[in-house]
């Protein structure tokens, strides 16, 4: 086994055949004064993702560790296993459909953490790109505050996964109590923030890809919000010092959740009313249409009257 690297990159991938090569290349192109390892958790994809990952692992045997799953583990289990195998002093994260857009990203972040021992991790903005790599805007606007606190992280998660560099000594392994929380790195960032501050670098150095497999519907957003509520409750039980912050966050989130739910219910009611009006209109025309079919071999089209 090679000596422990300075940075381990934790990459999970599933059915990312269109994007994985770009993601891996963006890691291999990093310009650093230290060793970097890339650990890929390939979660038994049904497309060519596994083959692409294997080709890169063969090309860079000293820098890439491929964990090729024999069966699908699921997002969180795959993530936790990859994280636990990281050996570096620092851990970075990159999903198989995102990429790093700055070749000095890791060097800048390591320099920042080594200059600020009170920072447990640091992050930066990320840009949205579409499936073809075209820019769609900024995912998170620039922070006015160069640091985030534990309170900030419990209230919301402004951090893109692809922007994180974490001091691994703060969380050597994923705690068992976090493994059932299907929210990736956010619980990790909250637990890390109990040990110190989170630093912000203002330069965008990564791209978050928006494509068909990642688009959220209103229903999925509400489902995710329920997962967040569950996560906060679990963290309050496991870490009693978080309870006051969790109570405040829960109050804010529940208010937003029910407001969103009421708006969705109003939309559903409006659609139902429109549907009933359409049915009644068609029902009024039904006798005419039936008579038309009975009297004529070539029925004349009967349309609903237009509104004036």
Instruction: Tell me how far the alpha carbon of residue 31 is from its chain's centroid.
Output: 26
Q: Are the C-beta atoms of 234 and 181 separated by less than 8 Å?
A: yes
Domain, as residue range, for 276: 216-282
Domain co-membership, 31 together with 119: yes
Q: Please report the pLDDT score of residue 193 as a whole number.
A: 97
Rounded to 5°, angle at Cα 173 from 185 and 84: 85
Tell me what pLDDT residue 139 has: 76
Nearest of 94, 296, 268, 83 to residue 175 by alpha carbon: 83
- Are 118 and 257 members of one domain? no
Domain shared by 206 and 224, yes or no: no
Nearest to 12 by CA among 63, 59, 64, 81: 81
pLDDT at 211: 78
Do residues 47 and 194 both lie within one domain?
A: yes
- Asked if 181 and 207 sit in the same domain, the reply is yes
Residue of 181, 161, 182, 168 lying closest to 239 (CA atoms):
181
Residue 181 has a pLDDT of: 85
C-alpha–C-alpha distance, residues 176 and 153, integer Å: 20
**183 shares its domain with 220:** no
Residue at 30 is within a domain = yes
Residues 49 and 15 in one domain: yes
Q: What tokens appear for 72 in the block?
A: 């699908």
CATH of the domain at 97: 3.90.550.10
User: Do 158 and 92 belong together in one domain?
Assistant: yes
Asked if residue 160 and residue 38 are part of one domain, the reply reads yes
> What is the block-wise mean pLDDT of the chain (308 residues), using blocks of 10 residues?
89 97 99 98 98 98 97 95 97 98 99 98 94 85 78 92 97 92 89 96 94 52 76 93 93 76 61 57 53 53 48
d(CA 104, CA 30): 6
Looking only at the bridges linking them, the beta strands covering 197-200 and 165-167 are: unpaired
């Amino acid at each position: 086994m090679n000596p422990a690297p300075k940075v381990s990159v934790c990459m999970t991938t599933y059915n990312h055949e269109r994007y994985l090569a770009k993601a891996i290349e963006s890691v291999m192109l990093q310009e650093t004064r230290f060793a970097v390892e890339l650990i890929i958790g390939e979660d038994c994809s049904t497309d060519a993702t596994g083959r692409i990952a294997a080709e890169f692992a063969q090309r860079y045997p000293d820098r890439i560790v491929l964990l090729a799953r024999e069966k699908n583990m699921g997002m969180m289990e795959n993530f936790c296993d990859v994280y636990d195998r990281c050996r570096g002093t620092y851990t970075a994260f990159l999903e198989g459909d995102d990429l790093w857009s700055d070749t000095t990203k890791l060097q800048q972040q390591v320099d920042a953490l080594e200059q600020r021992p009170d920072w447990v991790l640091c992050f930066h903005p990320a840009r949205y790109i579409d499936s073809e790599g075209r820019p769609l805007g900024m995912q998170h606007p620039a922070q006015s505050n160069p640091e985030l606190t534990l309170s900030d992280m419990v209230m919301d998660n402004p951090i893109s996964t692809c922007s994180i560099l974490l001091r691994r000594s703060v969380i050597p392994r994923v705690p068992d109590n976090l493994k059932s929380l299907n929210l990736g790195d956010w619980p990790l960032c909250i637990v890390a923030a109990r040990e110190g501050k989170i630093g912000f670098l203002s330069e965008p150095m990564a791209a978050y890809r928006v494509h068909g497999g990642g688009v959220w519907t209103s229903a999925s957003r509400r489902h995710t919000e329920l997962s967040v509520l569950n996560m906060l409750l679990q963290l309050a039980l496991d870490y009693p010092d978080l309870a006051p912050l969790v109570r405040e966050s829960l109050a804010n989130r529940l208010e937003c959740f029910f407001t969103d739910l009421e708006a969705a219910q109003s939309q559903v009611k409006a659609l139902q009313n429109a549907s009933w009006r359409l049915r009644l209109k068609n029902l009024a025309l039904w006798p005419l249409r039936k008579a038309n079919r009975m009297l004529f071999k070539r029925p004349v089209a009967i349309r609903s009257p237009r509104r004036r």
